[in-house]
Each structure stands twice: as structure tokens, then as C-alpha cells.
Amino acid sequence: MQIPQDLIETATLKLKSVQSEAEFFQLRSQYLGKKSFIISAFSKLRDLDPQSKASAAKELNILKSKLTKLFEDSLASIESIGEHDQLDVTLPADPYLIGSEHPITKISQKVIDYFIPLNYQIFSGNEIETDFYNFEALNFPENHPARQMHDTFYLNSNSNSNSNSNSNSNSNSKSEYLLRTHTSNTQINSMLKEDMPLYMLSPGRVYRCDSDTTHLPMFTQIEGLVVDEDVTFGDLKGIIIDFLENFFNEKMEVRFRPSYFPFTEPSAEVDIKFGNQGWLEILGCGMVHPNVLKGCNVDTKKYRGFAFGMGIERLAMLYYGVSDIRDFYSSNLDFLNQFPS
């Protein structure tokens, strides 16, 4: 009987290229199944004479057990190929990239998080506003520079037929609608709508004709307004200093510099010492002007108020160490990816 000597070698080689369990079992039946050389050789043993029968049987048995062991050993690694195809539901899911919060949103939220526990309610205001809410009710005089076309974006209004004639010298010829220049319009909106006492905070976008490395035509402010009995400038100072120290998480040098806003009296601008940059202006504030309270039907014998307004981009530039305000709105992923959620 001719017994091929390379049976183990060829089986080993073929096993190496097996890719699936199905291929493995097909190969095994080729070498060890009913029609395989080994099994049919056993049935042919009876045709041999006793002596060659004994030696052939011995040889065949050794070959069969070697082949069986070879297939047994490789079954384990074949099964692990199969496992790769299976779904392991215990594995953590692949992260689904949907971007992250914008740094300005993050800083706004950080400010809001400070005031919420103090019972300030969030008030959303209008970005398109009338002169009344943005200027008049806030005690701006008729000819205040902020009301000029070069500082404020006025919207084209069809209802105003001669809106373009003589527009710089006569405020009545401007459109009725404008893009609010500050969030202080929400002082009027909220006082006319809500009952006193009032604790409100209003984040949102504001617009001015301005553009350089520290100014944008669109930016973000957060307005705060408190109207209650016995409210003092001391309360205002206390809350602003505590807020700033909380925000920057360190003891701060804070300066209240006398200033002027038509809607507050007295008014102040708040500066902080930050790093080695000297004094930096961070917000405007003051006691709500009685004209403003009266215009909103607030009883000035009973109530007084303070208000403040801060620029979020400025806070974010200091907080994150950003030197060009335009980076926030350039949609540059290399920049934005530095602020993961």
C-alpha cells in the first residue's frame, strides 16, 4: 500500500489559509472524513497479507492520530476567527462625534450657573428691537451718540417711506426697528412683564457697527437686573466681586470706576487686575435710574434696583487666554477642538 508521506505537510499548509469555520470543517472532512485517503485506506487493509497489513495499519494509525491532533489544535484558533465576526454587546459603543459646546456657550453657562442658585430667573430678550426698548425707555437722550447710524444697525423698514433721507441728523427718519446694541433692553421687557421684586439674568447676542481684534459687529452679553426693597450699591458691589472671584476661582483685585450710562445712576465700570495685563474693563453696572423704574410703572418709593451687563467674549478671552476675539467665530476646528465638552 502506498501511503503519501506529505499528508501532514499539505494539511498544515492548507490550514494556514483557512478563513472561516466552514472552510475548516470542509478541510477536515477532506483529510479525516469517510471519503478521505486515511479512512478509505483502513478499509483496504483487509486485502493485504498479514505482515504488510500489520505495518501498514501501524503507519496509518500514527498518521491518523497526527492528523487528528493537527486539526484539533487549529480548531481553537479558527474559532477565534469566528469570534471577530460576532457582535460583542458588552463592548463600549464607538464614540459618535457630534462636536462640542462652543466656548462662548460654555462661558455663558458658567455665568448662569453662578446666578441660578441666587434665584435669578433667566429672561430671553429680542435681538430685533424697537428704539423704545433699546434707547428711549432706558433714558437715552434724543441725540445720544449710540443712537447714530454709525453705531447702531437699523433695519430697513417698508413702513417708513423716506427712511434714507437725512438719516444721520434726524432720528425720526430712521427705521423703527434696530438690532439691539446691548442686552439692557431686557431690563425694560422684564420690568413691564413681571411683578416686583425681580431677579433676572438675560444672556444673548448684541450688535454694533464695530470690528477689530477686540470688537465684533456681533457679540454676546449677559444682563443682570435686581429690583427689590432696600437694594443698595453695596449689594451690587458684593455680588459682582463674589461673582468674579467665583468665576476665576481666585481672589481678585476689583475696581469700580465711576462712569456714565443713561439708565443707571450712579454708574460704574468694573475693572479687574488679570495676570500682568494691568486693569481690564470687564462690565458696566449701576443703580437703576428712577426715570427707568418710573417708565416701567415700578413704585420708586418702595423699590430700587441695580443692573449690570458684561461681555461674554471678553470674559472668555481672559478665561481661556485667547488674544483675537475673531477666533471664536472663524469656525476653525483646530481652535474649537481645544474646548472639548
Binding site for ligand PHE (CB under 6 A): 182, 184, 261, 264, 284-286, 307-309
Closer Cβ to ligand PHE, 56 or 200, answer by number: 200
Q: Give the three-state DSSP class for 219.
A: strand
Q: Write down the least CB distance from residue 275 to ligand PHE, Å.
A: 24
Output the residue with the shortest Cβ distance to ligand PHE. 309
263 Cβ partners below 8 Å, 6+ apart? 138, 139, 140, 184, 187, 286, 288, 289, 292, 307
Q: Write down the least CB distance from residue 207 to ligand PHE, Å.
A: 11
Closer Cβ to ligand PHE, 115 or 308, answer by number: 308
Q: Write down the least CB distance from residue 115 to ligand PHE, Å.
A: 14
Q: Write down the least CB distance from residue 283 to ligand PHE, Å.
A: 7
* Helical segments of the chain, H only: 7-16, 21-32, 37-44, 50-85, 103-115, 131-134, 185-193, 233-248, 290-295, 312-320, 333-336
Closer Cβ to ligand PHE, 54 or 192, answer by number: 192
Q: Write down the least CB distance from residue 140 to ligand PHE, Å.
A: 11
Closer Cβ to ligand PHE, 103 or 309, answer by number: 309
Cis-peptide, bond into residue 266, ω within 30° of zero: yes
Closer Cβ to ligand PHE, 31 or 115, answer by number: 115
Q: How many angstroms separate the Cα of 252 from the Cα of each of 217, 244, 268, 331?
A: 30, 7, 17, 33
Q: Sign (positive/negative) of CA torsion 101, 105, 106, 112?
A: negative
C-alpha cell at 91: 463592548
Q: Write down the least CB distance from residue 165 to ligand PHE, Å.
A: 30
Task: Report yes or no: 111 and 311 within 8 Å, Cβ to Cβ.
Answer: no
Measure the CA–CA gap between 110 and 285, rounded to whole angstroms.
20
Q: Write down the least CB distance from residue 340 to ligand PHE, Å.
A: 31
Task: Report yes or no: 298 and 196 within 8 Å, Cβ to Cβ.
Answer: yes
Q: SS3 breakdown of the chain: % helix, strand, coil, rounded to 5? A: 45, 20, 40
Closer Cβ to ligand PHE, 252 or 287, answer by number: 287
Closer Cβ to ligand PHE, 56 or 293, answer by number: 293
Closer Cβ to ligand PHE, 67 or 285, answer by number: 285
Q: Write down the least CB distance from residue 111 to ligand PHE, Å.
A: 14
Measure the CA–CA gap between 278 and 271, rounded to whole angstroms.
9
